[in-house]
Structure 1
Amino acid sequence: MEKKSERPSQLITKKFAKELHLNFMKYRARIISKYIQKEDANAVWFSIEELENYIDYAKAKGEKKGYNVNGIRFYFGVYPDEKKYAEKAGLSTIFLTATGKRVKIPATTNNIQPLALVRESADEEIPGLEPMNYGSIGNPPKLTY
């Protein structure tokens, strides 16, 4: 069965992507590398399979916790500067965490819930659902777009 896919509305041109990356390298990476006294990572890679697996996992676990999973939030992070992190020690990373809305089902006397009474909370990170990390930063870490 072939998956139907629509063109995402958030697509940007390759030219604009290159401009964004060059701006990062000019205004952030140089300062970071100077401060930490080594070349920092400027990209993180996850396979399609890893991302799809995390999305499926987040949807399933989120649903069990009473959430409608609706997105993935990307956070910037830095690995601890410890030997156990090997070549990633002290370098930038990103990690992902699922977001959603908690479904609030009002109590009724006969436990039948009309759909009109089901309300959702605001978007939030789903408690107890683990974030995902450990993408590849490449070797060496510097990549150019």
Structure 2
Amino acid sequence: MEQNLGKPKQLITKEFAKLLNENYNKTRYPLIKEAIKKEDANAIWFSIEELENYIKYIKAEAKKQKYTIDGIRFHFGAYPEDKKYAEKSGLTTLFLAPTGTKKITKTKVAAKAEKSIEIDDSLNIAPLNYGSIGNPPPITYI
């Protein structure tokens, strides 16, 4: 049975999303295209199944390694100019890395104290990549 979590607080309107995408395509995309001398990706797609599976994976790994997951950071990247990356060679990518804290136990004169330390996205859990970039030219949000 699915839990109803309510409406997310970070929702934006479709109109504002369109404006954000138009601003990116006008101000960032041409610079990237000029710099790499080819059409680049401006959107990355992951299936719901891939995202849900990754969330389950990082939660399980975190539990094994005594981490507390508090989020996922989305990092921009660029594939190396190498033929082994085929059509993605030199193009933009987006990878996901879990963020959180690790519980450590310190022993003090006959007493144990548990303390959380910030680890951020240096967790020893593999990031997720290889979403679909589609085929350039860029995808426009509508």
TM-score, structure 2 as length reference = 0.90
CA positional deviation for 1:110: 7.8
- The residue number in structure 2 matching 1:92 is 92
Distance across 1 between alignment mates of 2:31 and 2:121: 31
- The residue number in structure 2 matching 1:136 is 132
- The residue number in structure 2 matching 1:36 is 36
Distance 1:64 1:108, change over 3 A: farther
What is the CA RMSD across the aligned residues, in angstroms? 1.8
Q: Does 1:125 align with 2:125?
A: no
Distance across 2 between alignment mates of 1:2 and 1:70: 21
Distance across 2 between alignment mates of 1:71 and 1:29: 28
Contact 1:66–1:102, Cα closer than 8 Å, also in 2:
yes
Counterpart mapping for 1:55-66 below 5 A = 55-66=55-66
Q: Write the letter of the residue equivalent to 2:60.
A: A
State the Cα deviation string for residues 70-115 of structure 1 (Å, max 9, x = none): 110111000011111111110001001111111133437888x6xx
Local SS of the residue matching 1:49: helix
State the Cα deviation string for residues 42-85 of structure 1 (Å, max 9, x = none): 00000011011111110111121111111101110000111111
Q: Write the letter of the residue equivalent to 1:118.
A: E
User: Percent sequence identity over matched residues?
Assistant: 51
Higher strand share: 2
Distance across 2 between alignment mates of 1:91 and 1:13: 29
Counterpart mapping for 1:73-92 below 5 A = 73-92=73-92
TM-score, structure 1 as length reference = 0.88
Report how many residues are paired. Answer: 141
Local SS of the residue matching 2:103: strand
Contact 2:99–2:123, Cα closer than 8 Å, also in 1:
no
